[in-house]
Amino acid sequence: MESQNPQISPPHAFQGPPETAHRSPMSGFAANIVDKVKTNLVFQSKWAELNGAMGDLGTYIPIVLALTLVDGLNLGTTLIFTGVYNIITGAIYGVPMPVQPMKSIAAAALAGPGFGVPEIMAAGILTGGILIVLGVTGLMKLAYNLIPLPVVRGIQLAQGFSFALTAVKYVRKVQDFSKSKAKGDRQWLGLDGLVLAIVCFCFIVIITGAGEKCSGERDEETNVDLGVDEERPRRKRRNFRKIILAFPSAFIIFVLGVVLAFIREPNVVHDIKFGPSAMEVVSISKHAWKEGFIKGTIPQLPLSILNSVIAVCKLSSDLFPGNDFSATSLSVTVGLMNVIGCWVGAMPSCHGAGGLAGQYKFGGRSGGCVALLGTAKLILGLVLGSSLVKILSQFPVGVLGILLLFAGIELAMASRDMNTKEESFVMLLCTAVSLVGSSAALGFVCGILAHLLLRLRDYRKGQPLSTLWMHENQ
């Protein structure tokens, strides 16, 4: 009996724990990743997240449509890859992290001939590669820690004003995206008239207000003991407000735009071809690499560093307290998107503070918001491919302008936290130079110079030199 016990008990006691100890690290790691992804993608409010997904379309659709019409961008491939980017970034970050076109590269492509698809993709790949290097080496994190907050706010304010001004042009002027210019004043009536745009603007203001929380919450905070006759009407008003505020305003307006697109050109149905667009590796010559770097990468790089990484880090911490994303992580994800997708013709993409503000404005609060948008892009890219451009070309531009207007205002309002006159001075100087010079890099340089001069002016003996930089952020 004694000889049998050692043979039976020990194996029983021995086999269980070692297997658990051997399997638990990997299984536990995988389980943690799955739980994290589920948490990041869960909807906080279904209608609000759906509404928030529409908040970035005012930027996305006009640029993608213009590049498709002017330079022959593969719309189907772009939809598929940007859709995948949306899903992955939503799963990683757990907030409505946007995927937007690289605007300086797009501007170079739309400026004139000689900058076609090979040059666009070369610029995207080079910009992405540099961002990966900056992220991996820690230089992006260093820049994030050193750049003063008023300078970042100045870049955000300039970008917000730029969006708002572009939105007003979309509303007031008839746009010809194929030539990147306005054709004349927009008529008051019609399926893309000023009246339609004004009605959409009023509808969004009534539903979302200025971006504050549900007004019913204020009623609850100020509620006092009232009689039954007074309480019932108040309760009905609160319920009515909740119903109104639950309307997905941006989604309703986008659906309206799609319906109007088919009404404006019913024959567009015959131009639809089912199936994804053919993907092929883009052939990039030495000349295309050179032109892409000079005309695309050089002007795009400062904007990507400031608006796609540093400003997004700051804004995400403002909108989602506790979610402090690493500048290294954002730099690497933006870089990977372009190093991978641009080889097969996908539009150069980045994150953007404007897109994040727009999606937040309309209700986006989780990664599920952009994952939903990414799924829609992926399905459209696989089912309709590049034939979708026929529908988008008929979409009311004035409606897109209204969506872009609210995104720009929301981004600009993030700069309202400057507490001193010196901070406001640096921010406004950076904003003015960025807008007038049409260059975030120029505004950044002027903002940094003004910040240093103000710090030197107030510099006192005995202070460490680091206070010249770190005073604002501490």
Contact between residue 351 and residue 330 where contact means Cβ atoms under 8 Å apart: yes
Task: Give per-residue pLDDT as tens, 227-252.
Answer: 555 566 666 666 666 666 667 888 99
- pLDDT for res 226: 47
- pLDDT for res 107: 87
Task: Give per-residue pLDDT as tens, 260-311.
Answer: 999 999 988 888 889 898 899 999 999 999 999 999 999 899 989 998 999 9
- For the record, the structure tokens of 442 come out as 């120029």
- Grade residue 15 by pLDDT with cuts at 50, 70 and 90: very low
- pLDDT for res 466: 60
SS3 268: helix
Contact between residue 226 and residue 234 where contact means Cβ atoms under 8 Å apart: yes
Instruction: List the one residue out of 300, 301, 330 whose CA is nearest residue 313.
Output: 330
CB neighbours of residue 291 within 10 Å: 20
- Grade residue 448 by pLDDT with cuts at 50, 70 and 90: very high
pTM exceeds 0.95: no
Task: Give per-residue pLDDT as tens, 71-98.
Answer: 889 999 999 999 999 999 999 999 999 9
- pLDDT for res 472: 47
Amino acid letter, residue 83: G
Contacts of 128 (CB under 8 A, 6+ apart): 334, 335, 336, 337, 338, 339, 342, 348
Least confident of 15-24, 34-43, 455-464: 15-24
CB neighbours of residue 429 within 10 Å: 19
